[in-house]
Structure 1
Amino acid sequence: MAETLEMVLEDAQSIFTLGTNSNILKNSLNVVGKLADTVQPFVPLISTVFVVVSEVMKIYENAKHNKKICASLLVRANTAKINVEILQLQPRICDHKAFYRFVEVLKKIKNFMNDVSNLSGWKKYATTNSVQETFTKLISEFDQSMNDLHFTITISNEEQRKLDQENLNADFEEMKQFLKTIAGGVTDNNSQINTIINELQIINEKVGLLTNGLNNAGNQINHLKAIKINPKELDDLPYREIKLCAGKSIVKKLYRGNNVACKSTNVVDDGTSVNQRIQAQLVILGKLKECPNILKFYGLSNLDDNQVMVFEWADKGNLRELYLNQDIDLVEKVHIALDICRGLVFLHSCDILHHDIRCENIMMTLRLEPKIANFKYSRETEQNSTLIENVNDLVRWMAPEKMSKHRYNFKYEIFSFEMLIWELVFEKFPYEDISSTNQVIEHVINGNRENIIFGQITPENQRLQQGLMEIITAGNPQNRIRLAEIFLKLEKLSLNCTQPCYRTSLYPDGYLDLDGSKLNKQLSITESNKPFITEIKSLEEGIAAHKNKDYEKAWKIFELHSNLGNSTAKYWKARYLIGGVFVNKDITQAASLFKEAAEDNNTDACFRYALMMTDKSSGVKYNREKFIEYLMKAADAGNAMAQYNLGDMHLKGNLPSLSNSDLGIKYLKLAALNGHSKAVEILKEKDININE
């Protein structure tokens, strides 16, 4: 059995090497083309199977969290693909409705994997603890659909169920530990995922739409403006301190009791799409201050008739400057790497890629707190890579896949972070003995890496050396270590390496034996028999019919898809029943359908069912805990109406013992960003700046 599962995963891996989804789809459609003469009515569904499975593989490949849970579901998705390929070689009659249900289950698996593989999606389940229930339900539905179609290759057995449970338990334990320790703005004081992540995702997505040329995207972000600081609030210090950075002077000032750096800039607010995007990106930069390991951007101001950007002041300069002037103790390096990792997790949770992770872009405070800075090349995850002018400087931290011109993603940034750790440990540029950029690229693409040769060190720190080496060398292009794993490894290392009071963190340059120059100690690394089948119209056709007011056609499609288990169709059917559209009103059945769709995490259904609990005429019994659960699930999944209602109730104190005005404001901000006019009005009435 183990060999069979291994073959399934290997098959999935072989598809990864095709390179792009378009190639996968083209390859899949070629297979479907061979089926067309024999089972023509199944062609659209078979095409969907191949597309969904390719998307499942992509989700697994890029999963930031719960990769073992995703692996269990990937095995099943790939088993589905293999069975469909067998159907190509051995055509037979299948039940069309059973095949449709089979496709619906695959879609649910894809959506669930997409949710649990990232923090914003995981938040949907955090309050209900329903991940295990949903996982078990999906497995059961998948096994049943495989049986209904009499597919020959299945994985429904006790051994697989045991493995599934082990995967669940392992991922649950990792997430529990991760959420307990990550902090850094990713979670709030109650270890709950911070709503600021949702705010940043919304703004970031809209900036991405504008960047990619969507015509009306500018209207969605034209209200986003960088915070303006009154120049009178920038106080002089007893002495004037000026630093030079990239040829620009940075003046030190005092702003509301904090030392700040005033850096010259030229931001124009003329309403053009380019400057709309810049303003929105500055709003994003300002909101990133929620994370203590990202350099705080306070806003724009004027100094000596020049426009300036006001940043947090970093007394020690950047991390490269620090290690060039002084040697850093290994214990301190572990803590620095851990805090940088926290900042990077926050960025990735917001779907932001920095694109230039190296020590030169990490600013250091007087207390040796690292702050990720220089977001010049940062992009929303789905945007094309920025053209980087000085690629010669960045290539030494670049992943081999990126060197091969692949689209930048989270895994490539993790590779850069691993190289940053190498740079920090050995206090020098990677491959500094190789002068040619092309030679560096050739060296890395061929699978070579920097040497890991540690110098003389105290015995108690040898464990730290080994732990850091494991992180630097972890993974490969196909299976690179996740950032959450790196964080937990660094967290574990840091717990047992508290600096003794008699030890210093910084030493004179050249004092420590970093690279073995003092002690050369190396740690290696057929057509006539075709049955008559009634065509099943797509759910999209039903929604289009509803918009065109062809309610009879829409109802028939919604009812059919609802009976086949589609949660969106259940939601639409319930809307028709509760409003008496085309059919007689049936509030009881509508409530039941809203509940079923809500349990499948349909956002709109969650909100509708929560509202029905507050309406006595609906017949739905009010349950305070369930009401809050469904309303929060809808709000956390992006439903603007739910966000507005939840925020309003928090502010008005309508949630006894749970009301939280700060949380209410956060939800109202999310609703406002999603275009809810009443939320915007309330925030204006309370003089709350949505950009802060």
Structure 2
Amino acid sequence: MNIFDINVEEFMKPFIPLIKEAAISITIINYVYQSSQYNKKICNSLLDRAKLAEFVIDQLIRKRNENIKNFKNFAWYKSFIRLVDILTEIKVFSEKISQLHEIKRFLGVKNIEKRFEILITEYDNVMMELNFTVAITNEQQRQIDHENLKDDLSEIDEFFEKFDSIENNLETSIIYEEVLNMVENRKTAEVKDLGNNKLTEPRVLKDDDIRGYFKRKIYMNTIEVACVTFHDDEPLPYQNDLAAYIKATQSPNIIRFYGFAEFDGFKVMVSEWAEFGDLRNIYLRGGIIPLKLKLTYVLGVCRAIAYLNALGFYYKELRCSKVVVTAENIAKIKFSKQDRPILEVKIVRWCAPEAFRNGKFNQKSEIYSIGMLLWELIFERLPYENRDVIEIFNFVKNGGRETVQFDHNSSGMINIQNGLEKIIRKAWSHDPYARMSISKLFIDLDILIKSLEEIEDNHSEVNSNDFNNDNEVDNNINLKLENPDNNNKNEEHDYDSKSIQQKEIIPISSIYNGIKAHKAKNYEEAWKCFKMNAENQHPLGKYWLGYYLWEGKFVQKDKKAGFGLYKEAANDFIADAQYRYTFALVDKDIRSELIVDKKEVLKSLQLAAEYGSGQARFIIGNAYLKETFGYKKNLEMAILWYKRAALRNNEAAKEKLKELGIEFSHL
């Protein structure tokens, strides 16, 4: 290496950690896209930009001799930091919009659309500043992005409209947050001991009180439960995250697990009793199950799977015998031990082909299993009924699937049957990434149910046994993923080393160094760090600079400037900024200059709570308890919000729950 090369490497030093940070964000954005169940097209548009950034950064490294003037330009360095920050923001945004419960925090699809537009505009602007023209979005790409945005948001809006009746309520949100809290903190299992005298025999015996290993008992004199003998050396379901899974069973469409008890000298696991048994036994009894009811059952399965997926649980034993129906005719998935080997006849019939190879289950493999479960329930028979494990393995691995063949009996039913076939084939596609999302599956099933209701309203007869399935079809699908070989070589360039100034760029201090200085009460150093980061559009830099200006810490107080920075940081999902912005709206100095709409204050407070501000959640709880901020008095809602605040370690909320005599296990 000659002396000139050494100079180039010296100039690149401040960029090395930034390039590494960008690479991490790009990798995560790619992973989020690959695993996303929601807003996949939007995630794809964001991935396109991440990949373009990866390309230009790679060019920058390989052609560093050509870029030495940029490396020594401080303004260019600041723009490069901004690019890295935008990639981080894209990463966070894509993670949020691809997760069920995170999407809800946007409080409407318009906020997702607004945030997407801001991000891609900022991305294009910084690419122009860096003169990375190849990465700037053209008008055609913008149009494609707009269509992707429109398609995804339309789907997710429709999905929540149909899904919300059960899932999108505060109690379910609290269960979700409690489970995440357990998983993040690796909370050990605390399985409830129900005592020895709370289980009794049913007063009225039924023919099916004993189902295999399960026996029907009565808990607390009123609740029908299923009991199964358990030995202490047996592995528990989801052993590593048992506490989290037990809590998750309190959500709809999952059989609830109550705990352990002693009965007749044996230790038993106690769970919710399903009056009608499992779906396989239901269809084997020989009665006619209306098609609409079958699809409603599968819709319930989709609810359960979507909820478990959001919590990071995957249900690899999904099939009709694992779905039970309660006395209220609600389909729920059973508590499962999840420890069976894949190549077992009880699993392999519903197992996705890629799971054969790597033994891993994810959202895509579960969509496949739902497709197989739907086929099983529609045609009321096991998939690949006359094949053994090895035959099934080879058949499915090579693209073979069951036949989807119906007997057509009316024009209305033809449309229903075509819709069912499309769903099934899309769900069990050989290519995991070609399978439909859980939201699309949910919507399409709901549409078919609505269509069946219209047929019923028109007094048409719907017979769910109008299905015939004789033979399997072998669809050999060969997937080839080409990986183009990039043979570009570094070009050599001649430079006059005397023309290059030996001036070193001083790196911008990390925002976390500023926070550390603030905690150490070194306010001058903290201010300088926050100011430099805020000038470079870092969200936390804006928040902290706003805080210093609002409070007059180290610098002269300037509430108006602080208010503006709070708002900018709040738009970047900084929870504390959203909270402070909310109360800045009602500050007398701000209100003397601005006309503040009361609805905007409430919306801002709600956003702060959804972004995770414990204090905002506590205030909403107080508002329900004391009838302030326009909230009507509601003790139940107050308690729910106090619980959500307590999950964020809000001490005032914990004390309030104690005052109200509320037990909360995560205090």
How high is the TM-score relative to the length of structure 2? 0.82
Q: d(CA) in 1 for partners of 2:109 and 2:354? A: 39
SS in 2 for 1:646: helix
Aligned residue number for residue 29 of structure 1: none
SS in 1 for 2:226: strand
Aligned residue number for residue 106 of structure 1: 87
2:401 to 421, 446, 450: 450
CA shift for structure 1 position 503: 9.5
Aligned residue number for residue 480 of structure 2: none
CA shift for structure 1 position 488: 0.8
1:47 is aligned to 2:36:
no
Q: d(CA) in 2 for partners of 1:310 and 1:280? A: 17
Q: d(CA) in 1 for partners of 2:537 and 2:524? A: 20
- Contact 2:11–2:505 (CA<8 Å) still a contact in 1? no
Residue type of the partner of 1:369? I
CA shift for structure 1 position 566: 0.9
Residue type of the partner of 1:413? E
CA shift for structure 1 position 433: 3.1
1:368-379 equivalence runs, <5 A: 368-377=329-338
**Residue-by-residue CA offset, 1:49-102 (whole Å, 9 max, x unaligned):** 222112111122222222222222222222222222222343313310111111
Name the Cα RMSD after superposition: 3.7
Aligned residue number for residue 284 of structure 1: 248
SS in 1 for 2:106: helix
Aligned residue number for residue 483 of structure 2: none
CA shift for structure 1 position 642: 1.5
Q: d(CA) in 1 for partners of 2:240 and 2:297? A: 35
**Residue-by-residue CA offset, 1:264-287 (whole Å, 9 max, x unaligned):** 45799xxxxx999645543332x2
Q: d(CA) in 2 for partners of 1:623 and 1:184? A: 30
2:386 to 433, 442, 451: 433
Distance change in 2, residues 1:368/1:579 (3 Å): closer
Aligned residue number for residue 447 of structure 2: 492
1:325 to 285, 291, 294: 285
Q: d(CA) in 1 for partners of 2:193 and 2:555? A: 53
Aligned residue number for residue 147 of structure 1: 128
SS in 2 for 1:397: coil
**Residue-by-residue CA offset, 1:279-318 (whole Å, 9 max, x unaligned):** 5543332x21xx2x33344566665565555443323211
1:557 to 529, 532, 538: 529
- Contact 2:180–2:311 (CA<8 Å) still a contact in 1? no
| Count, aligned residues | 618
CA shift for structure 1 position 165: 2.2
Distance change in 2, residues 1:359/1:491 (3 Å): same
- Contact 2:278–2:324 (CA<8 Å) still a contact in 1? yes
SS in 1 for 2:105: helix
**Residue-by-residue CA offset, 1:632-651 (whole Å, 9 max, x unaligned):** 11211222221111112112
- Contact 1:267–1:275 (CA<8 Å) still a contact in 2? no
CA shift for structure 1 position 260: 3.7
Aligned residue number for residue 656 of structure 1: 630
1:574 to 546, 565, 569: 546
**Residue-by-residue CA offset, 1:388-428 (whole Å, 9 max, x unaligned):** 45751323322233222264322222222122112223333
1:279-678 equivalence runs, <5 A: 279=243, 281-285=245-249, 287-288=250-251, 291=252, 293-297=253-257, 303-304=263-264, 308-326=268-286, 328-365=289-326, 368-377=329-338, 387-388=339-340, 392=344, 393-405=346-358, 407-437=360-390, 439-446=391-398, 448-459=399-410, 460-474=412-426, 475=429, 476-498=431-453, 500=456, 514-516=468-470, 528=497, 529=500, 532-616=504-588, 623-656=597-630, 660-678=634-652
- Contact 1:598–1:630 (CA<8 Å) still a contact in 2? no
Q: d(CA) in 2 for partners of 1:231 and 1:691? A: 24
Aligned residue number for residue 251 of structure 1: 216
- Contact 1:225–1:280 (CA<8 Å) still a contact in 2? no
Aligned residue number for residue 48 of structure 2: 75
- Contact 2:196–2:263 (CA<8 Å) still a contact in 1? no
Q: d(CA) in 2 for partners of 1:548 and 1:299? A: 48
SS in 2 for 1:403: helix
SS in 1 for 2:215: strand
Residue type of the partner of 2:126? S
Residue type of the partner of 1:431? Y
Aligned residue number for residue 4 of structure 1: none
**Structure 1 alignment gaps of length 5 or more:** 1-32, 188-193, 212-216, 269-273, 378-386
Distance change in 2, residues 1:586/1:256 (3 Å): farther
Distance change in 2, residues 1:523/1:427 (3 Å): farther
Distance change in 2, residues 1:648/1:234 (3 Å): farther
Q: d(CA) in 2 for partners of 1:643 and 1:134? A: 23
SS in 2 for 1:363: strand
Q: Return the index of the structure with the highest Cα Rg.
A: 2
Q: d(CA) in 2 for partners of 1:114 and 1:150? A: 28
SS in 1 for 2:216: strand
1:195 is aligned to 2:170:
yes
Aligned residue number for residue 3 of structure 2: none
Q: d(CA) in 2 for partners of 1:596 and 1:265? A: 56
Distance change in 2, residues 1:677/1:389 (3 Å): farther
- Contact 2:109–2:157 (CA<8 Å) still a contact in 1? no
Aligned residue number for residue 60 of structure 1: 33
How high is the TM-score relative to the length of structure 1? 0.79
CA shift for structure 1 position 106: 1.7
Distance change in 2, residues 1:136/1:512 (3 Å): closer
**Structure 2 alignment gaps of length 5 or more:** 1-5, 71-75, 478-492
Distance change in 2, residues 1:249/1:124 (3 Å): closer
